[in-house]
Amino acid sequence: MAQENIEVPITGKIISVDVNVGDEVKEGDTICILESMKMENPILAPVDGTIAKIGVTADQSVKPGDTIAIIEY
């Protein structure tokens, strides 16, 4: 089984996490909302699969390269 690691693209703060471990997601589903420079940026699933790990929580400050989630497919 392959894994897709979703990483933080820009420095910011996680506003909400919209999935849980074990959830099935489709490509384009929202994983979380990242606020950066007063803009809310949805972080989307790049592939269809199952959420294997979530590496962030709401109100957490993050930086590029931090793991948001891992999707198994």
For the record, the structure tokens of 2 come out as: 């392959």
Longest Cα separation, the chain:
38
User: What pLDDT score was predicted for residue 39?
Assistant: 98
Report mean pLDDT in 10-residue bins for the chain, 73 residues: 97 98 98 97 98 98 98 98
Q: Which CATH number fits domain 3-72: 2.60.40.640, 2.50.20.20, 3.40.190.10, 2.40.50.100?
A: 2.40.50.100
Nearest to 24 by CA among 49, 47, 3: 49
Q: What pLDDT does residue 1 have?
A: 87
Look up residue 31 and give its two tokens. Answer: 């994983």
Domain map of the chain by residue range? 3-72
At 35, the amino acid letter reads E
